Amino acid sequence: MTTVNILSGGAAQGLVRGLTETFKAQTGFGIDGQFGAVGIMADKLRASAPADLAILTHALVTKLADEQLVTAASIADIGRVETALAVRARDPKVTVRTEADLREVLRTADAIFVPDTKASTAGMHVAKILDQLGIAYEVASRLKIYPNGATAMRELAASTAQRPIGCTQATEIIATDGIVLSGSLPPGSELVTMYTAGVATRAAHPAEARALIALLAGAAQSELRRRVGFAG
């Protein structure tokens, strides 16, 4: 089967998966691609990795359009995703209303599962928050860093630690079996990121890529976007 190739942040993986059959029925094309830290996906596009479209943060897609790697006229916002906390399904949810609550939760966790702290949206934010809270050095030995949020959350689900916690995009938490969304980050520590799609200028299948973007961003999929963790 001919496929449309995507380079995407992990935040969009659940949404793409949920639209695969609809897209196939509409176009006859399958969907293939890579999902991971947005910085790494952007660098893959810069390195000429095969791609028909990119789904990354709004800021990155705009930058790639400036670099003439994404067609500016094709760009469309999909929705906002918050960075949130996760716990194993068998563990009690944590209550985090203030930055003081968050500091205490992170200090008492014996394992903190996060995505790449240098290339992923959520991971970079976690690193910033640990510095902001003044506990980066204290919890460094308990940070469990993985290439992307999906992997970090699977490892959280399998963790044998006593009091583990995870932090990544809400969409990646919702998509992972064995863990649950525990809550939002508190005021002062919150992050909500707009994810955006654009057709790659070197796309082999630009028409189908545009059709997939229309499907991802269209009003008919608003309920699916909400269910997998996107906000408007």
Written as tens digits, the pLDDT of the chain (232 aa) is 799 999 999 999 999 999 999 999 999 999 999 999 999 999 999 999 999 999 999 999 999 999 999 999 999 999 999 999 999 999 999 989 999 999 999 999 999 999 999 999 999 999 999 999 999 999 999 999 999 999 999 999 999 999 999 999 999 999 999 999 999 999 999 999 999 999 999 999 999 999 999 999 999 999 999 999 998 6
User: Tokens representing 216?
Assistant: 């991802």
Residue pointed to by tokens 């809550």: 183
Phi then psi for 65, rounded to 5 degrees? -65, -40
First-residue to last-residue Cα distance in the chain = 33
Using alpha carbons, select from 83, 70, 93, 77 the residue that is nearest to residue 11: 83
Which architecture does CATH list for 3-79+194-228? 3-Layer(aba) Sandwich (3.40)
What's the fold here for domain 81-184?
Answer: D-Maltodextrin-Binding Protein; domain 2 (3.40.190)
What pLDDT is attached to residue 1? 79
The boundaries of every CATH 3.40.190.10 domain in the chain are 3-79+194-228, 81-184
Report which residue type is found at 151.
T
pLDDT value of position 146: 97
Q: What is the pLDDT of residue 232?
A: 66
Q: What would the two tokens of residue 92 be?
A: 């009690």
**In the beta sheet, which residues pair with residue 3?**
30
Residue burial 134-149, b: 16+ Cβ < 10 Å; e: rest: ebeeebeebbebbbbb
pTM > 0.85: yes
The partner residues of 83 in beta bridges, in order of sequence, read 169
Q: 183 and 84 in contact (C-beta within 8 Å)? A: yes
Question: What's residue 75's pLDDT?
Answer: 98
